[in-house]
A and B are shown apart, each in its own frame.
Chain A
Amino acid sequence: MQIAIASGKGGVGKSTITASLLYLLKDEYSFVAVDADAEAPNLGLLLGVTKWDEEREHLGAKVARINTESCIRCGICYERCPYGCIYIDDEGNYVVNELTCEGCNVCGLVCPVGGTISLEEVRSGVIQKATTKYGFPLISAQLDVGKPESGKLVTDEKEWAKKLMEEKGLEHMIVDSAAGIGCQVIASLGGADVAILIAEPTPASLSDVQRAYKVVQHFREPAYLIINKADINPDFNGLEKWAEREGIPILGRIPYDRAIPESMSMLKPVVEAFPDSKASRAIEGIAETIKEELLG
């Protein structure tokens, strides 16, 4: 079974909760964990990973390059780039901004001087595998600064995870998905059997999670909700109302608890660092429900 954990935006405690759930599920189930937040991965840190067993460079991102020798400075590429990624430098040369280029090759197609613009394959990031000290494997990715195609990075990550499941006979894949709703999240959620959404009771988080849920609906995956920092905003019941309206079961509510930031600075799941804290007890309850309802 593939479970994707999403929130629509970072900062609502998705990774902390994921790390804790992994910790609580590790003894009874076999799984691979995937950190699909390729632009800001942190599950490895939270699970105390200090060294990676294996690393694969991820090629496949493409960026255009202009050969200034043969360029006749006609400016056609500059006009036609759909994303405005070509600029003129101080010497009057046409140059591609590699930090924003999407690699569509329109410039190469419209350039009148054959061979002046080439599309080059560059590294877009790295995918890493580690065995956590808790025994289960983790696959994580890091997108290089200024590179496109984080979605493809996540797709490759999940493929690696799938292979690992086959090789090691693992039952489940648990994916900590990226923030946002774009290609990374679509790649995180695509193929999942269930989505677990995490939100906090603020209007901003509600808006983010609603958008993530619309992506989940595209995939027709059943969704569940966890409410984090459930008590920070007693006057706000928007999350509950929305969940009820959409028929999304609430797996549990985690109260605000200083134990969470403290466990994060210790780089440990809160349920390991402070098992008696109120947050930990709430997460344990959620893990029990997940065992019963989802993992059987």
Chain B
Amino acid sequence: MQIAVSGGKGGTGKSTVATNLAVALRKLGVKLTLADLDVEAPNDHILLGVELANEEPVNQFMPRFDYSKCTKCRKCAEVCEEHAIITMRDGTPFLMPTLCSGCRACEIVCPVPGAILEAFRTIGHTYVTPTPYGFTLVTGRLREGEERSMPLVVEARKRAEKVREGLLMVDTAAGTGNTVSKAIEGSKLLIAVTEPTPLGIHDTELILELGRLMGIPTWVVVNRADLGDIEKVRALAEKYGAQIVAEIPYSENIVKSYVEGKPIALTDYPEAEIFKGLADRVAEFIGGDE
């Protein structure tokens, strides 16, 4: 089974919840793999205090033109939805690599065999990192200067599928764009981490809407629950048929554990209980499935 942890905006504590929930679930005996699919700013390894390991490049197709064969028909440029191919006045195509999404549409339409050759560039990396907590962390990391995170999300998911043991838990990027839906896709449960502040509430609605559109049952974890008007989150959750499953108060202990890269779920602080409670509910939800 797969479940996802997401949240409309950045900085709500999504990664804190994902990493601590993973640790707490593992303590309950649930086998799992955690996938950090926030490829533009992956941080789960930092919160878990581990160094990324087993790096593999994500190589993406890009066209290379064999100008001795190319007839300058411009078909490749016309079909490229990313406008990654520009043509000179006489029709000679040129590639602007960072715009290329690697979709191969140009290759498909080129009428001259061999005019488009396969070239690749590394747009990021995936990692498979053992953690001292009894589960493996899979991470996707986009290379700086690369624009498109979708291919990285897809590749990191694939690698996570390959190495997964038991439950697959994904941690997504902030926002509600299509790379977030790609990360969430296939999940049986969406855990939305929100904040009861006016700003957080606006974004909560967006993530609940995404859950609804994708038809995934959604739970809400309210972080920094004492810093705003939780009733508003309750009302929104009700509107979307979602339930609030945990409330985490603003806590210096959590900040400290975050800063030190030591999951709070492993400590004796009272906050650890919240994650244990959440883990119990998740374990119950997934039942004997894993």
Contact = CB atoms under 8 A, between A and B. Distances in A.
B108 A110 contact: yes
A218 B105 CA distance: 28
Contacts of B88: none
Contact of A103 (B12, B81, B108): B81
Contact of B213 (A99, A106, A185): A99
B210 A146 contact: yes
Interface string B241-264: 000000000000001001101000
A208 B41 CA distance: 6
A203 B45 CA distance: 11
A182 B151 CA distance: 12
Interface of B: 8-13, 15, 40-41, 43, 46-47, 79, 81-82, 101-105, 108-109, 142, 144-151, 154, 173-178, 180-182, 185, 197-199, 202-203, 206, 209-210, 213-214, 224, 227-229, 255, 258-259, 261
B181 A99 contact: yes
A225 B177 CA distance: 28
Nearest to A102: B150
Nearest to B11: A11
Contacts of B103: 82, 102, 104-106
Which interface residue of A40, A104, A232, A236 has the most chain B CB atoms within 10 A? Answer: A40
Given A97-B185, A179-B173, 8 more contacts: A8-B41, A99-B214, A102-B103, A105-B105, A145-B176, A146-B176, A146-B213, A179-B40
Contact of A207 (B43, B154, B229): B43
Which interface residue of B10, B203, B214 has the most chain A CB atoms within 10 A? Answer: B10
Nearest to B258: A202
A99 B216 CA distance: 13
B203 A40 contact: yes
Interface in A10-36: 10-12, 15
A186 interface: yes
A179 B145 contact: no
A45 interface: yes
A261 interface: yes
Contact of A62 (B81, B147, B149): B81
B41 A105 contact: no
A8 B142 CA distance: 12
Contacts of B173: 179-180
A179 B175 contact: yes
Interface string A120-151: 00000000000000000000000101111011
A50 interface: no
Contacts of B10: 9-11, 40, 179
Contacts of A192: none
Contacts of B12: 11
Nearest to B154: A83
6 contacts: A10-B174, A104-B82, A150-B175, A180-B41, A204-B47, A204-B258
A71 interface: no
A106 B154 CA distance: 16
Which interface residue of A8, A203, A215, A261 has the most chain B CB atoms within 10 A? Answer: A203
A102 B179 CA distance: 9
A145 B211 CA distance: 10
A100 interface: yes
Given A102-B150, A261-B227, A179 B258 contact: no
B46 A267 contact: no
A179 B149 CA distance: 13
Contacts of B259: 202-203, 232-233, 236
Contacts of B181: 97, 99-100, 146
A261 B226 CA distance: 11
A28 B199 CA distance: 29
B149 A180 contact: yes
B8 A40 contact: yes
Contacts of A208: 41, 43
A84 B161 CA distance: 14
Which 9 A-B pairs rank lowest in CB-CB distance, beginning with the nearest?
A: A11-B11, A10-B10, A39-B175, A180-B40, A214-B144, A104-B103, A40-B9, A99-B181, A183-B147
